[in-house]
Structure 1
């Protein structure tokens, strides 16, 4: 008996999908690269405007110069953090924040060290003395709401210690101080004399100033104008009636 052998059909050829996918992927990639090249060559990828806020002792040009970016520069590089670090190198700047807003806008906001005193140059110009010891010129019409440091030429180390002590005083007390002069003695080489706007005269030492702040405030708030001595012992003496406002009434 003869057996029939079934005829085997050849399998239909599978479509070449892999090759097609690769070609399509290459086209997509080329398209994306082309778009990226066109974008980064366009004005959309560049800075169109840079603004600055927060600077009182540092002018806008100085901040922009430190930032190193301006209209026409790449928007995405350097990063906002890198620009902020550049600005923080300025001696008056305590902190800086940079915000980028697409398309093309960059805003730099600075926080400066506060002024704790003012100084006078040889030609009579006023400078702000900041809490980190930096000195910055200010306009002649600026409000002098901190003590003026007089006769500190040649005493730079003592002056820096005084600035540090002033930076730790409460704002209301600091704004009442009108002038501070060196008043050294053998026992107290860092002794100072302070004149207040409330017509008191305070004799103390730089090394004691922060510690004696509460005592100074208490006497000013409860006593008539007079001389406050705060060294080893604390002493208060009102002005004599015929003394008038005297030297202690200086208000800078």
Structure 2
């Protein structure tokens, strides 16, 4: 008959005590670790380590980094974890040059602000100065006195804000390859047409058209010029009907011949 080993209660008690002791030790280590971790977290949030250390700005050309940072309301002592990205986005988008903003927190202490600006479509002439005009119809502070812009059309005699915004919207839709061929755009409303404008082109032509449908009318300009004789300059009428009046010199004066 096999002998079966019988474990008595006296034999089991030491093992149970050891197991309870190990469990108590593990629990004690957990509490001590949690306590020290909590202390470290408190120290971190109270120290400059939790502050925003770097603000990176991307996509800006018309507005300075200083203006964006000031508008974001992020200070040197702003807690990295308390930066509200939606609030920063809303604040920066209040800048007239800014169309859209993307804000991202990058651990451990960097805030990334990426802006998409409105396109500069023209300059508005005001008392000898030139104000950059954005595609949303807003004007920026004047560039330096005496500097005549050459990389965008100059708008002259545009005193009505409503007409200026409409013109900016049309210029936004116009292909850049055509826009840079325009030297000046004069606002010349008539009694029977309050939207009439005259364009002076860099290639020597004049264009008479309207604000309404401007971009749609002007997209035909390159083909029209190509069809004309290269040495024959004049006025191209681009409205409901398209026709051309060459310049004719008479007694030293330049006139239009109907």
TM-score (norm 1): 0.81
Flag the structure with more relative contact order, 1 or 2, with Cα contacts below 8 A and sequence separation at least 6.
Answer: 1
Indicate how the Cα distance of structure 1 residues 44 and 209 shifts in structure 2: closer, same or farther if over 3 A, else same.
same
Alignment of 1:194-233 (within 5 A): 194-223=199-228, 224-233=232-241
Alignment of 1:74-85 (within 5 A): 74-80=79-85, 82-85=87-90
Indicate how the Cα distance of structure 1 residues 162 and 244 shifts in structure 2: closer, same or farther if over 3 A, else same.
farther
Number of aligned residue pairs: give it.
241
Residue 171 of structure 1 deviates from its aligned partner by 0.2
Structure 1 residue runs without a partner (length 5+): 1-5
2:121–2:134 Cα contact (<8 Å) kept: yes
Aligned CA-pair RMSD: 3.0
Q: Which runs of 4+ in 1 moved over 6 A?
A: none
Which is worse superposed, 17-26 or 61-70? 17-26
Distance 1:92 1:247 in 2: 42
Residue 80 of structure 1 deviates from its aligned partner by 4.6
Residue 84 of structure 1 deviates from its aligned partner by 3.2
Aligned match of 1:162 in 148, 167, 174?
167
Residue 52 of structure 1 deviates from its aligned partner by 3.3
Residue 244 of structure 1 deviates from its aligned partner by 8.6
- SS of the residue aligned with 2:215? coil
Indicate how the Cα distance of structure 1 residues 12 and 152 shifts in structure 2: closer, same or farther if over 3 A, else same.
same
Structure 2 residue runs without a partner (length 5+): 1-5
Indicate how the Cα distance of structure 1 residues 66 and 32 shifts in structure 2: closer, same or farther if over 3 A, else same.
same
1:47-104 alpha-carbon deviations (Å, 9 max, x no partner): 2333434333323332111111133322233155543342122121012334555554
2:246 maps to what in 1?
A: 238
